[in-house]
Amino acid sequence: MNEDTSIKEKINVDINVSLVLNKFKNALSKLERVVGSRSTLPILNNILIKVHKGGVELLATDLEVGIKFNLGGKVEKEGSITIPGRTLINLVDNLYGDTIQLSSKNNILTLISGDSKANINGMPADEFPVIPEVEVGKKVTLDTQVFKSMLSQVEFSASSEESRPILTGVYTISSSGSLTLVATDSYRLSETVIKNGLGEEFNVVIPVKTLQEVRRMADEDASFELVVGENQVMFVFKDAKLVSRIIEGDYPNYKQIIPSKSSTIAELDVQEFIDNLKTAHIFSVEGSHSVKLNVKPEGLVEITSESSQLGNFSAKLKAEVKGEGGEISFNARYLLDGLNSFETPRCTLGIESRSNPGVLKPSNVEGRVYIVMPLKQ
């Protein structure tokens, strides 16, 4: 034990640990969105710092999502303290240097980095809520890039209205050899399926917000594990765990609204479709966002929109059309959301009648479907 350490022990600090500053910054940045800023329960505005033999645990929770981060460090005194999260994050973000020393005394955290020193007023750790881990559950390993891609293909279709909570989640189905994500707000629906032989069987509705946190957390790992328990799910990363509530209830039987066939199918250039829908949307933006599509068997799709106040728009897009054609109206924003999630140069639009849902698919891709309910003309 060197002299420096013995001095610190003499003044009886509560915690004392040195960390690599960049790792500390990175961990705090991952906690940022879970830490409250004006929560009615003030302790939820705090981050819990737990110093144990092996290093430091950083915890934050908004009671829906809890995140635990594990960092290695040079530990001189074990203990814990909670600190207002925003202040800590803003402070550490502006520090530089290689290491940072954290010590505390009488619920004041002292941070020393280079020639800078800050004292932050904290609170005792015992008020901080417990973040229970999922001990027993069904497991699946997810590739980070594949997960991110699948999430971006469905998340925008989830509902943001709390009136039907089940629709604010992403329905996640792990079955023999495949993983499926589904989201719908009852006006449109996204489904994406990939082959995945590595998981146990389960289905669960996970809040979109949780999955968006998972995307941020997963940044540095090539893969991570999802553990589905009775009432919670847990995502296990190399240095961190994220625990979230599950949305209770039965997900709608969505398979029955996906049309089994379309009597007319048009294949179009995705970017051209997007550009012209955006333009058409200018003239429908004040009303129902309605644009009319007229699929013509001679090989074009006509897009039209009209506003009594502003004026009107029409464009003819070249298309490969199979079937007898037909006319149907959609909410332009919903079509654009779906098309913007496609990564292919071309897509197909399947229609059956004016009152049946339209079916958008990226061309030459398996496992993707986007369903849009039609508007009355």
- By C-beta, is 112 or 166 nearer to a copy of itself? 112
How far is residue 276's CA from residue 284's CA, in Å, rounded to a whole number? 13
Pairing verdict, β 232-236 and 240-245: antiparallel
Rank residues 31 and 217 by Cβ distance to a copy of itself and give the closer one. Answer: 31
Binding residue (CB under 8 A) for a copy of itself from 13, 118, 198, 236:
118
Per CB under 8 A, which region of 1-9, 90-98, 207-215, 255-263 contacts a copy of itself? 90-98
106 is a contact residue toward a copy of itself (CB under 8 A) = no
- Residue from 3, 115, 135, 298 binding a copy of itself (CB under 8 A): 115
Cβ–Cβ < 8 Å for 240, 216: no
Smallest gap from Cβ 306 to a copy of itself, in A, equals 9
Count CB-CB contacts under 10 A for residue 117: 10
Binding to a copy of itself in span 224-243, by CB under 8 A:
none
The beta-carbon contacts of 44-48 under 8 Å, at least 24 apart in sequence, are 44/129, 45/84, 45/85, 45/86, 46/82, 46/83, 46/84, 46/85, 46/122, 46/123, 46/128, 47/82, 47/83, 47/85, 47/88, 47/89, 48/80, 48/81, 48/82, 48/125, 48/128
Residue 84, interface with a copy of itself (CB under 8 A)?
A: yes
Region near a copy of itself per CB under 8 A, out of 44-52, 144-152, 209-217, 275-283: 275-283
- CA distances (Å), origin 372, targets 308, 332, 363: 25, 10, 17
Number of residues that bind a copy of itself (CB under 8 A): 31
| Of positions 51, 91, 170, 246, contacts a copy of itself by CB under 8 A | 91
Instruction: Scan residues 296-315 and list those touching a copy of itself (CB under 8 A).
Output: 309-315
Asked whether position 276 contacts a copy of itself by CB under 8 A, the answer is yes
Residue 77 CB, shortest distance to a copy of itself, in Å, is: 20
Is 98 a binder of a copy of itself (CB under 8 A)? Answer: no
CB of 178 to a copy of itself, least distance (A): 38
Question: Applying CB under 8 A, which of residues 127, 275, 320, 324 lies at the interface with a copy of itself?
Answer: 275
| Residue 58 in contact with a copy of itself, rule: CB under 8 A | no
Task: Enumerate binding residues for a copy of itself (CB under 8 A).
Answer: 84, 87, 90-91, 94-96, 108-109, 115-121, 275-276, 278-279, 282-283, 309-317
